Amino acid sequence: MAQTGPQVGVIDAVVVGGGMAGLAAADELASRGLSVQIIEAESEVGGLARSIVVGGEEIEAYYHHIFPQDRELRDVIERLKSQERLEWRPASTAVLDAGRLYRFDTPLDLLRYPPLPFAARMRLGLGSVVVLLGGRGRRLERQKVGQAGPRWFGARGYAVLWQPLLEGKFGPYASDVALAWLASRMRQRASSRKRGTGDRLGYLRGGLGRLARSYAEDLAARGVTVTCGVRVDSLALQGGTWRVLAGGHEVRTRAVVACLSGEKLAGIAALPEPYLRTVSQIPYRGVVCLLLELDRPLGRYYWTNLIQRTELACLAIIEHTNFIPSERYGGRHIVYLTHYAEVGGRAWEASIDQIVAAVEPALRAVNPSFARSWIRGAHLTRDRWAQPVPLAGGPMPRLPLETGLPGLYHASLAHIYPDDRGVSLALGLGHRVAAAAGEWLAVSSAGSTATL
């Protein structure tokens, strides 16, 4: 068991999960003077933002970039004195449709998009402005994008542009996703343009996995116990104390802050019926991501959305080294192929060779000379709990941080709504859930002092 920091009898709080939300939760609790232990199942902290090594340099197992509005993340970067590693670079976007690549960086590119007739482009552009101005109203939370989308964006524009992307991300749930989610996604890009960085996105040199490790080291230096490589097997409340069973050891604590998916939490704790029912109504998609190391560049764009379907429904080709120079990775050109998948389905089970074969027509459309001999290394990463589905009328907008059990608090990707998941939002959520737990601890301590 890799562990740092001191341990005591009954501690104030255990944080389950050392992803970005769990690290921020521990930070918040420690800053309130509470004794805290983080328990992380993997050998390192970082969760979905963890890194692997390519060409001697760390890089995220899943592509990650930073938006200018990612305030919580920028704050952590500054506090950990890593700001000299944060860089802002142009990040070009394209769409691949029926074997042809179209640049898609600005609203003007949408208005010029050749696969759509002029009237459909205008309708799509107008609908996008109206949705963007439509705010965060509850109205959009209840509207299914499959029904509302054609009305807002025009049937043709929706079918040609949005529907394939939503299907790639949410599969069978695509039509039932809330329009509020799509509006928030559109706002995210529009807002980063407004902040004056144009099409520049941020990247933290050396990857976010390294930042997560520095964060854990900083927490350990402040007295937090950080335990990695140990899965929490069960959480049980006995006589007002939580017994946390992890890797054959028991930790006793007054409060637990669980920073993982609802279904995972339900697997280790007997959740009260209303909360269990609520979290069970949120479907999750898994992610299967293949990172290819090529010996030469593939195309010229950073991010290419695939409107044309590949055999295993690849959503995007992300050429990281069209964003960050390949010299940093020993001259390797890095391409991520991303698939959101049903667990147990064909994409979920696929081998590296099967994925490359399925995406090859799209890789050839990006660069007709592409050959498999260009591939010098490949890394396949899968996560079961990668993307909650924000169903219209579903429970995500009002998912509580309290589980209904005294001292058990919960934060997951599904608690972020209507925005899509993100490192900065996970950090903010971690602070919020820990603040709620910290207040509960303060009130319950005051209560027990009063009875003494």
Ligand X SMILES: Cc1cc2nc3c(=O)[nH]c(=O)nc-3n(C[C@H](O)[C@H](O)[C@H](O)COP(=O)(O)OP(=O)(O)OC[C@H]3O[C@@H](n4cnc5c(N)ncnc54)[C@H](O)[C@@H]3O)c2cc1C
In the Cβ-directed half-sphere of 199, how many Cα atoms lie within 13 Å? Answer: 15
Q: Which helix (H) or strand (E) holds 319?
A: strand 316-319
Task: Tell the smallest beta-carbon distance from residue 246 to ligand X (Å).
Answer: 7
Provide the binding-site residues for ligand X, judged by CB under 6 A: 16-22, 39-42, 47-49, 62-65, 231-232, 259-260, 264, 268, 287, 289, 338, 386, 413, 421-424, 426
Torsion of CA 261, 262, 265, 270, to 10 degrees: 180
CB of 415 to ligand X, least distance (A): 8
- Of residues 362 and 423, the one with the C-beta less far from ligand X: 423
Distance in Å, CB of 151 to ligand X, minimum: 30
CB of 123 to ligand X, least distance (A): 30
Nearer to ligand X among residue 16 and residue 358 (C-beta): 16
Between 391 and 414, name the residue whose CB sits nearer to ligand X: 414
The residues pairing with 337 across neighbouring beta strands, listed in sequence order, are 290, 317
Q: Which is nearer to ligand X, 62 or 152 (CB)?
A: 62
Of residues 190, 186, 211, 209, the one with CA closest to residue 199: 190
Minimum Å distance from CB 58 to ligand X? 15
CA angle 48, 64, 201 (to 5 degrees): 155
Strand bridging mode 10-16 / 249-258: parallel
Distance CA 314, CA 287 (A): 11
To ligand X, the closest distance from the beta carbon of 230 in angstroms equals 7
In the beta sheet, which residues pair with residue 258? Answer: 16, 410
> Left (φ > 0), alpha (ψ -120 to 50) or beta: where does 198 sit?
left
Nearer to ligand X, 254 or 264 (CB): 264
Residue 364 Cβ vs ligand X, minimum distance, rounded to whole Å: 24
Alpha helices in 134-281 (DSSP H): 138-142, 145-153, 155-157, 163-170, 179-192, 207-221, 262-268, 273-280
Does the CA dihedral 437-440-445-451 come out positive or negative?
negative
- Which residue has 């990040």 as its token pair? 91
